Amino acid sequence: MSDTTSLPTPSKKTSAAAMVIAALCVVMVLGAVALGNKVRAREASLAETQAQLAEAQAGSVQLQTQLDAAKNAATQLQRQLAAVKTKSEAQVNEAKAALANAMAEFDASKAESSLLQKQLNESKAVEDQLQTQADDAKTELSQLQKQLDDANTAAAKVQAKLEEASSQVREQKLKLEDAQTQINQLKWARPKN
């Protein structure tokens, strides 16, 4: 008889934990990328609102349209902020569910244990980056809120000018309607050859 010895196999619990942690890190990376994109989109939206407010002060005919755009952008920013908070909570719940699924499927993943260890190390680095990005995002959100408050204050100042401009627009519309009526009368009065 020949003497055979088998190599020890990695612990099922250790491999499952590594697999679960790697899956959790991937989910967190995707969440951080989505959060970063939304923050950049909010910054662009706020910059557009400020530009519209500046244009509103320069031209009385466009004041009503620009004020509405500033209010819509502020409302959109608040909705996006609420959506980011809701999405973050959903991502945490999804990560917990992914962890539970990974634990249940671990028996079939013994061959992938070394790959999962490497992914775990990479995910730790990504997690550190995501934490930094999350901190930066909190700072940016605070700045956006301040800018939103400033935009609302500016919108209130513009409101008085807007009411005056609206009155002027009504007068101009009446003049335009009178002119159109006169043009129509001239067209009908002109003899046709």
- Residue 170, pLDDT score: 92
3-25 in b/e form (b: 16+ CB < 10 A) is: eeeeeeeeeeeebbbbbbbbbbb
Q: Which residues of the chain have pLDDT under 70?
A: 1-12, 53-64, 66-67, 99-100, 102-104, 106-112, 114, 116, 190-193
**Residue pLDDT, tens place only, 107-122:** 556 556 767 677 888 8
d(CA 26, CA 19): 11
d(CA 20, CA 96): 9
**105 within 8 A of 15, measured Cβ to Cβ:** no
pTM of the model: 0.25
Rounded to 10 degrees, the C-alpha dihedral 70/74/75/81 comes to: 160
Q: Name the DSSP class of 112.
A: G
Give the 3-state secondary structure of residue 2: coil
Count of residues for the chain? 193
Backbone phi and psi for residue 117, each to the nearest 5 degrees, phi listed first? -65, -40
- Residue 110, pLDDT score: 59
